[in-house]
Amino acid sequence: MSGLPLTWEFLAVPQAVPEVRRILRARFAGDDTDDLVLCVSELPANVITHVGERTPVSLRVTATPSGRVRVALSDPASAVWPVLREAGPDGTSGRGLLLVDSLALRWGVEQAPYRKTVWCELRAPRARAGATRPSALLEGGNIVTGGGYS
């Protein structure tokens, strides 16, 4: 898939999430882009809520051999696992992983000694024609640290 892989390393702070969404919207088009953007937003939001703000994370968006897009977010809190739970009708939080579960074709968690990775796979959006390289979209280039760009 054109435009992938994309890799970001950043501190999990609320200000980083809109920047990542903006980069993805500049790279991809079509109906499946909204699902991708929502899942990419929810994973760092879960780290902020359950691990803590300013946690260093690594976010990677790649193409799978089956033509899907895989989103993987790694953080150093290997003991803090995401929990799929039901949010009450009046609750103001607790729906992030439910959204990922609803939108993703599949998702899971991989644990390593000093980190965990929460991942999901979705239908791949199409690359936007003439998309700008992500590093050119950032002010100061402070989020994107690598990626496979042509």
Q: Which residues are CB-neighbours of 133 under 8 A, at least 6 positions away?
A: 149
Mean pLDDT for 30-59 is 92
Burial of 79 (0-12, 13-18, 19+ CB in 10 A): exposed
For all residues of the chain together, what is the average pLDDT? 82
pLDDT at 11: 93
Span 6-136: which CATH code? 3.30.565.10
Mean pLDDT for 93-117 is 90
Max mean pLDDT range (24-33, 50-59, 140-149) = 50-59
- Residue of 95 and 54 predicted with greater confidence: 54
Q: Report DSSP state, residue 138.
A: S
Q: Note the pTM of the prediction, 2 decimals.
A: 0.81
